[in-house]
Amino acid sequence: MIILLHWFGPMKIGRPLKPITQLLIIGVIITGAIIFIFTSVLPFLSELELRVTEEVTILTRTGSLCQINTKDEAMPSKMITNCELEKGAKVLVSYRDGFPFAKIELP
């Protein structure tokens, strides 16, 4: 408590803040802004990313994972989780370029 009073001093109206207090306030504001951006803005922006939709054939199925090949040049082989379809089934999927997973789309 004594250290805090030494750093900040008694607060009086009209008295300018010490530089350490100003830095602390700015740090808290910046930290709060970063937390806000990461928790509310970025998840919303990731939903706006362009997704490619195409019809593919399931190559293999292991448990609930299905493997497909897409036209994605960066990563043509993709996985579908929670897949209940059999090998050889045609399905409409959507994916983001360069990502290893695809999602089954309902027609």
Same domain, 36 and 64: no
55 falls in which pLDDT band (50, 70, 90)? very high
Same domain, 95 and 56: yes
CB neighbourhood size of 17 (10 A): 13
Element (H, E) at 54: strand 52-62
User: Quick one: 14 exposed, middle or buried, by C-beta within 10 A (0-12, 13-18, 19+)?
Assistant: exposed
Tell me the per-residue pLDDT of 25-47, one tens digit each, with 9 for 90 and over. 999 999 999 998 888 877 777 67
Tell me the per-residue pLDDT of 69-106, one tens digit each, with 9 for 90 and over. 998 877 888 999 999 889 999 999 998 888 888 888 88
58 falls in which pLDDT band (50, 70, 90)? very high
- CB distance 52 to 105 below 8 Å: no
Q: What is the pLDDT of residue 1?
A: 46
Which stretches of the chain are DSSP H helices?
Answer: 2-8, 19-36, 42-47
Same domain, 71 and 95: yes
Same domain, 42 and 6: yes
Domain containing 37: what range? Answer: 2-47
3 falls in which pLDDT band (50, 70, 90)? low
pTM, entire model: 0.53
Same domain, 56 and 90: yes
